Structure formats: structure tokens, C-alpha cells
């Protein structure tokens, strides 16, 4: 990518660590308590009359402000009520006390969920690559399902957004294709049916994607079928999204500096009115907080109102793994997606002068010969006089002697967390080196892209072989081979280290993340202006290969759209349940899924497991989580009824928070997974209700329990007998610990009939 684009990506990631101060700096001078900055004023469910909503907003603003025509930034009036305005801290505090105001909070800056800051693989998304040159099979030529993408915009000229073969735009669509200086409304078609943008102050407004992230995620979710796609010959095949028959609506909320919370809420507000069916967000804020903090969470607020209106909201889990309690977007009404690998690898081998070949991983288009004839040296042996051995071993800046490096392949043992791998390759090249071997496991299964710089990444277990050879001869030689695509790689899937982990800091009584999907080395469409690392003499690729939970999220969004196409009347929670209960927990070696490090993965890593693509279309049973479940969740988390009635438009007349509300009761909301706190308790029971959506009205399901050895799990009744008049049946699960738990434990309950297998995972916390 171009230099300024990389700096933009780096700046976005830095903002993740300096979010609070960055937000203030971005929205105005923050010197002094009365300095103005943008605040979001959230007022719960929207009134049915837009005019009255605007009047309410104006009255509140006028009550604390003198006449200021520039104060109001945005109104929210479709899916929920509120506004964004430039206020002082004193004015914001005053508005927070007004009747009908749920919360007032500074406009946050959220981040796109790509890989770590040192990894240049900028953004996120995924497209399936079919190595068979067939046309789309097994799907209808047209669908009325509409997927909305909140991201960096779209590159409308990409082949993935062709509307060829699709029927007329659904008549219920109320959205717009908003023109701008570089985006004509004619760019929209029967695939790309809507495009809006929400520019912040000082940024030119346009839905066009200048860096590629939004294009990548959109094409991963619903990209049209494209023949003979590749990234300069790698990952070659036919590209398509998860639901190529679905329609696409773009909401550009991310610009230079990040993704504004006020813009995100405006996009949610418009998307609800426009008529989308699925919303996909490959972005998020910081992890941590409790249930009351949801009232200051732009995504959680927008998602709550979207789900209330029947829209499924899918979000990435974040890239702060492998530490625990790092998952974000973990409200129960959000479908939270972790990342996993696929069975395709990008191999760039190191060949030593003794003809020993060591497998490496990277994407490069090395001009070196396949014969090992180039001198090779370790960083330690190339140490400059002023450097330490430790710095030279890692090849830090200034640690190597250019005279020793010139004309050689350099082996650097380890990596610098703050230096992108591309930059280290460039550093070696500037010193006169002709190639780089990085011995490290920090990239795991990711394949960094280096373009023309011959670079490969080698696992530390091969360190000894490399160093033994270098020191065994006076003139060691080697070569780095150009990357080749390896299909059928095993084991896959695995969970990469970067994928954020549970438990949820919001509530350990809800298992998060919910599901895992491909998010490593994902191939999808890209923006023409956003590509980096263009091989010498080549044109910018219309595709890119990148990693992150940003890539895994649109895989689930596309799958959800496909499920919706086949089951148009299903609720968001039914679709979510179908995907979760049909997930797998084994890799292509038929062994349990593991992490990058080789350790067995748990539901804290992958939720219910890895998505499957056909089983969710007809899952047999679903667990529907309704609005009352979510209202109870808010009650159990400590919100009072007066606040809840303002937030929700669907509070039943006879609903009230239970008098004995507690966090542990959260385990009883009808979620397609179970999380129970067994601390100091012998027995804990929960209830789940399953709905028969199978083709047989009369059917019997029986349970199979997989439980840890020191826990007894009892399911009653021991059969679920569904009939035409009994489509919903409940069962109780009793967890009995034989001794105090030393660690969190995991298991599952699987209901089966003659055709369907419906699995629900559980976690028992100590």
C-alpha cells in the first residue's frame, strides 16, 4: 500500500490505545472544563413521529445552550431517539439530568478489527475461493435479503459487486445511493443497492472506500461470483461471498483516525429505516466494563434497537488475544465472531546450502534463484561495533553492520512488537541485504506480505538447524523461494493468537464469543487506491489477503443472509441459534480444534465452534432469545425499570424486573449456550426452551451430555416430544459439582432425532 495509507492504518491502531484522549483531540480543543467536544445524547426508543422527536431534541439543547447553530451534529430518529452535539462538560452533565435522557457520553473513536499494529496486513474480510470453475450452484439467482456493512465504504467498480443476474431491487428497500464528488449514484446497481457516508468535521463526504477494508468485508459477505480471481497468482480460483445472491447496503462510518461512535449510531438509525436484514460490523472499542456501560456503547445501543426491529447484528470479537477477558461486542443481542484458520497456506521455504529445505510462511514474490547460492548470515554475526548481541540477534535499527549484511540473506531471531515485518525487510534491503529470514512464532498462522522483498517467517523449532548450518561452514549459502499456495493444509481450523478471548467482562453468565469463522489470510476484493506491496512491474491487485476478526465477521454475516434467504420468517435469534448449534469443534484431522500454540481450544476461544455452511439452513431446533430475555438481562445487570422503559419500545405492559435480580439469573435467558457460576454452590439449574423448525411436526429428540468428570449434569425431561400443537418445549439442566472447581470447565448438551443434531455448549465458572 502507499506510504500515507499505511500511516493511516497505524494511526487507527494507535488510537485504540489512546482512545479517550484521541476522541477529545479529534473533536476540538479540550483545554479547560468548558471546552466543546462532541457528545452523544441517548434517549432510548424513538417516538413514532419524527417531528416530535426533533422537537424533543431541540428543547433539550435549547435548555442548556444559548443560540448556537453549530452545536447539533446529528439527530437519531428512526430506530432510536437521541442526538450528537458539541457541548462542554458542564452542558453535557446538565443534559444528563433531563427527563427522558438515558445517557450522555463523549463521542468514542472505535477501531477496525484487523491484525496487530506491527503487521502490515491492514484490514479484514474474507471471500470463499472455489478451485472448481463452476457457476454458482445451489442458490437462487436473486434474493430479497439485504446485508448492511458499517465500515470504510466500498469500491463500487469491483467485480464482486456486479448486479448481473439479480432480479429487481426489493420493493421494501427505503435506502439511498447518496452521490458525492467521486461516487455517482449510477455506481449502485441490483447488488449494491445503497451507499451512505457519515463524514466527520473536516473530512470530505463520500461512500467510496479509499483503503480497502470495507470493500474486503462486503465482498466476503455477499460478493458476486467472479471467475479466475487471484492475488498476483496466489489463492487462485473463483471468488464469491457467503451469500452471493443477497443485496448490499454500505454505511461508511470509518475515516482517517477511526470510526466515530456518533457516525455508527447514525448508520444504525438509517439502516433500521432503510430495511436491512443483517448488519455487519468489523470494528469495536476497548474491552472491559459492565452492563451499565452498555448505555455508553454506540454499537451495543444501535444493535439493541436493530435487533428489536428484527435485524441480526454480527460483530467481530476483537484482535486482543490470546489473553482472557479481551472479547468485545459482547452484549447478548450481538452475534460475536472469533477468528479461525482455513486449510490454505502460503508457503515460502528457506533452502540451505546443504540442500535442507525448511518450511516458512509469508507472501513474497522473490526474484531469487531456486538454487541455494546466496550468502547467509545471522544477525549476531552481522553485529555492528556499537550494538549488543541481543539487539543484533533481533536485527533492531542500527544494530547491524551494512558491510557484513551487503549481498546476504540475514537471519533475525525474533521480532519487534512495534515494527511491522515489512519495515524490517525494508531495513535489511537498505543495508544492502538481499533477503530476510525471521525466526519467530508471533505471527502464528498469518502470512505477512512482503511483495518484492524476499522474506520468510520460520518457526523457532527450526532455529537450531539454521544456526548449525551457518556455523558449520566458512561460506554458508541459501535461498528464499517465492511463495506457493498450499491447499489441504492440516490441521485446520485452528484459533489464531490475535483473536480475542472470553470470558466476557460484561457478564461471565453469557458465553462469548459466540462462534468462530475464517479470519486468517483471507482473500477478497480490495480498493484500487488502497493496495500496498505491488510487485515491481505489476498493476495494483483488485484483491488482497489479510487477517483479523474483521475477516471472520463477514463470513458469519454472509452465512446469516443465506440462512435468512432459505428461512425468510426467522427471527435474528433463530438464525443465530441455527449457526451456533450446527457448529463443529474438530479440525480436518478429526481432532479437537487447537490454538496457534497447539493447546486445545475451548469455548472461550471459539464459542460454539467453527461455522458450517449447510447445516444452519435446516437445524431442526432453535433457541429463540426474545426481547423479554434481553430486558431481563438488563434487569439482572442492575438497570431499573424506568430506564428500561425508556430504552425499549417492546416492554410488555405486565413486565417488571424481578425483585431478586442478580447476575446469576442471566444464565437463564434463552441463549443457545449456557454459562453458569458454580462458586460456592453445589447445584445450579437453568432452563432452556427449544422450538421445532424441522420438517417433521411430530418428532422426538433425545439428549447426549458431555460433561467434565467431577460434575454431574442432569437433563429433565429425558426426551422432547414435539407435536403440531407443541412446537416449543422446555427442559431443565441441573449442574452438580462433586468438589470445588479449580478451573472453569466445559461441556455440551446435544439433542438428536433421526435427522438433526443440535448442540449447545456450556461453561461452568469457578
**Mean pLDDT confidence for 125-154:** 60
- Residue 50 is predicted with a pLDDT of 55
More confident residue, 564 or 63: 564
Architecture of domain 119-126+141-343+495-616: 3-Layer(aba) Sandwich (3.40)
Topology of domain 344-486 in CATH is: Glucose Oxidase; domain 1 (3.50.30)
**Mean pLDDT confidence for 395-404:** 95
Percent of the chain with pLDDT over 90: 73
- Residue 617 is predicted with a pLDDT of 94
In tens, the pLDDT along 402-428 reads: 999 999 999 999 877 667 667 888 899
Q: Pick from 70, 49, 77, 57: which is nearest to 266 by CA?
A: 77
CATH number of 37-106: 3.30.70.80
Instruction: Provide CB contacts within 8 A for 461, sequence distance 6+.
Output: none
In tens, the pLDDT along 240-276 reads: 999 999 999 999 999 887 899 999 999 999 999 999 9
Q: In the numeric block, which cell numbers belong to residue 414?
A: 525474533
Note whether 231 and 526 are within 8 A (CB). no
Measured CA to CA in angstroms, residue 21 lies from 14, 529, 571 at distances of: 11, 30, 40
In tens, the pLDDT along 318-343 reads: 999 999 999 999 999 999 999 999 99
Residue 613, pLDDT above cutoff 70: yes
Measured CA to CA in angstroms, residue 12 lies from 97, 112, 197, 260, 615 at distances of: 34, 8, 18, 12, 38
Q: What is the pTM of this model?
A: 0.90
Burial class from Cβ neighbours inside 10 Å (0-12, 13-18, 19+) for residue 660 reads exposed
At 54, is the pLDDT very low, low, confident or very high (cuts 50, 70, 90)?
A: low
**Mean pLDDT confidence for 32-53:** 75
Residues acting as catalytic residues: 151, 213, 550
At 199, is the pLDDT very low, low, confident or very high (cuts 50, 70, 90)?
A: confident
- Residue 71 is predicted with a pLDDT of 86
Architecture of domain 627-764: Sandwich (2.60)
> In sequence order, what E strands does 442-581 have?
449-451, 455-458, 477-480, 484-487, 494-495, 515-518, 522-525, 543-546
Residue 122, pLDDT above cutoff 70: no
Residue-range domain boundaries for the chain: 37-106, 119-126+141-343+495-616, 344-486, 627-764
The reply to whether domains 344-486 and 627-764 share a CATH topology is no
**Per-chain mean pLDDT for the chain:** 88
Amino acid at each position: 500500500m502507499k506510504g500515507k495509507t499505511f500511516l493511516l492504518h497505524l494511526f487507527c491502531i494507535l488510537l485504540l490505545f489512546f482512545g479517550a484522549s484521541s476522541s477529545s483531540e479529534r473533536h476540538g480543543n479540550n483545554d479547560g472544563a468548558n471546552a466543546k467536544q462532541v457528545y452523544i445524547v441517548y434517549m432510548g426508543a424513538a417516538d413514532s413521529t419524527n417531528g416530535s422527536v426533533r422537537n424533543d431534541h431541540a428543547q433539550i439543547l435549547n435548555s442548556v445552550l444559548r443560540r448556537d447553530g453549530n452545536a447539533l451534529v446529528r439527530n437519531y430518529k428512526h430506530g432510536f431517539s437521541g442526538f450528537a452535539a458539541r457541548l462542554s462538560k458542564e452542558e453535557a452533565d446538565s443534559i444528563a439530568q433531563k427527563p427522558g435522557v438515558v445517557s450522555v457520553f463523549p463521542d468514542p473513536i472505535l477501531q477496525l478489527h484487523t491484525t496487530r499494529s506491527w503487521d502490515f496486513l491492514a484490514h479484514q474480510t474474507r471471500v470463499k475461493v472455489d478451485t472448481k470453475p463452476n457457476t454458482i450452484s445451489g442458490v437462487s439467482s436473486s434474493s430479497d435479503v439485504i446485508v448492511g456493512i458499517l465500515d470504510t465504504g466500498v469500491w463500487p467498480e469491483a467485480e464482486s459487486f456486479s448486479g448481473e443476474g439479480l432480479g429487481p431491487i426489493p420493493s421494501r428497500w427505503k435506502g439511498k445511493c447518496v452521490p458525492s464528488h467521486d461516487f455517482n449514484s449510477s455506481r449502485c446497481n441490483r447488488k449494491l443497492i445503497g451507499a451512505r457516508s457519515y463524514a466527520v468535521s473536516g473530512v470530505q463526504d463520500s461512500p467510496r472506500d479509499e483503503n480497502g477494508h470495507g470493500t474486503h468485508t462486503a465482498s466476503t459477505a455477499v460478493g458476486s461470483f467472479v471467475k479466475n480471481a487471484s492475488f498476483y497468482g496466489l489463492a487462485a480460483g473463483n471468488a464469491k461471498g457467503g451469500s452471493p445472491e443477497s443485496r448490499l447496503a454500505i454505511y461508511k462510518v470509518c475515516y482517517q483516525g477511526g470510526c466515530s461512535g456518533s457516525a455508527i449510531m447514525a448508520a444504525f438509525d438509517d439502516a433500521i429505516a432503510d430495511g436491512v436484514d443483517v448488519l455487519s460490523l468489523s470494528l469495536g472499542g476497548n474491552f472491559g466494563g459492565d452492563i451499565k456501560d452498555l448505555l455508553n456503547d454506540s454499537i451495543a445501543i444501535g444493535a439493541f434497537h436493530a435487533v428489536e426491529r428484527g435485524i441480526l447484528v454480527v460483530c467481530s470479537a476483537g484482535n486482543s488475544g490470546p489473553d482472557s477477558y479481551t472479547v468485545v461486542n459482547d452484549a447478548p443481542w450481538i452475534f460475536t465472531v472469533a477468528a479461525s484458520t482455513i486449510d490454505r497456506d502460503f508457503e515460502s521455504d528457506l533452502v540451505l546450502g546443504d540442500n535442507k529445505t525448511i518450511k516458512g510462511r509469508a507472501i513474497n514474490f522473490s526474484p531469487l534463484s531456486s538454487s541455494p547460492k546466496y550468502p547467509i548470515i545471522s544477525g549476531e554475526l552481522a553485529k555492528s561495533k556499537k550494538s549488543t548481541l541481543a539487539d543484533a540477534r533481533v536485527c533492531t535499527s542500527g544494530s547491524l553492520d551494512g558491510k557484513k549484511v551487503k549481498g546476504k540473506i540475514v537471519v533475525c531471531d525474533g521480532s519487534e512488537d512495534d515494527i511491522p515485518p515489512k519495515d524490517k525487510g525494508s531495513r535489511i534491503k537498505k543495508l544492502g541485504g538481499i533477503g530476510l529470514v525471521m525466526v519467530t512464532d508471533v505471527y502464528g498462522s498469518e502470512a505477512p506480505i512482503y511483495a518484492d522483498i524476499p522474506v520468510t517467517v520460520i518457526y523457532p523449532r527450526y532455529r537450531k538447524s539454521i544456526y548449525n548450518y551457518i556455523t558449520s561452514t566458512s561460506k554458508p549459502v541459501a535461498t528464499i523461494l517465492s511463495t506457493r499456495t498450499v491447499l489441504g493444509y492440516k490441521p485446520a481450523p485452528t484459533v489464531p493468537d490475535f483473536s480475542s478471548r472470553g470470558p466476557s467482562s460484561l457478564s461471565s453468565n453469557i458465553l462469548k464469543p459466540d462462534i468462530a469463522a475464517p479470519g486468517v489470510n483471507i482473500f477478497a476484493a480490495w480498493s484500487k487506491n488502497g493496495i500496498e506491496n505491488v510487485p515491481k512491474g505489476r498493476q495494483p491487485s483488485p484483491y488482497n489477503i489479510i487477517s483479523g476478526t474483521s475477516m471472520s465477521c463477514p463470513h458469519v454475516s454472509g452465512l446469516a443472509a443465506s440462512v435468512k434467504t432459505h428461512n425468510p420468517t426467522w427471527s435474528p435469534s433463530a438464525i443465530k441459534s441455527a449457526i451456533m448449534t450446527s457448529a463443529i469443534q474438530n479440525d480436518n484431522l478429526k481432532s479437537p480444534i487447537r490454538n496457534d500454540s497447539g493447546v486445545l481450544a475451548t469455548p472461550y476461544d471459539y464459542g460454539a465452534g467453527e461455522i458450517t455452511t449447510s447445516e444452519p439452513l435446516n437445524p431442526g431446533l432453535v433457541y429463540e432469545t426474545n426481547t423479554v430475555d434481553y430486558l431481563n438481562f438488563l434487569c439482572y445487570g442492575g438497570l431499573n425499570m424506568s430506564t428500561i422503559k425508556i430504552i425499549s419500545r417492546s416492554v410488555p405492559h405486565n413486565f417488571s424486573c424481578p425483585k431478586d435480580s442478580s447476575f446469576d439469573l442471566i444464565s437463564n435467558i434463552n441463549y443457545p449456550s449456557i454459562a453458569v457460576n458454580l462458586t460456592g454452590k453445589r447445584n445450579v439449574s437453568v432452563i432452556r426452551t427449544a422450538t421445532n423448525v424441522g420438517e417433521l411436526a411430530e418428532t422426538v429428540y433425545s439428549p447426549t451430555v458431555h460433561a467434565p468428570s467431577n460434575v454431574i449434569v442432569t437433563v429433565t425431561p429425558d426426551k422432547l416430544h414435539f407435536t403440531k400443537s407443541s412446537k416449543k418445549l422446555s427442559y431443565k439442566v441441573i449442574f452438580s459439582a462433586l468438589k470445588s472447581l479449580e478451573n472453569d470447565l466445559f461441556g455440551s448438551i446435544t439433542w438428536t432425532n433421526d435427522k438433526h443434531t443440535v448442540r449447545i455448549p456450556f461453561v461452568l465458572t469457578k
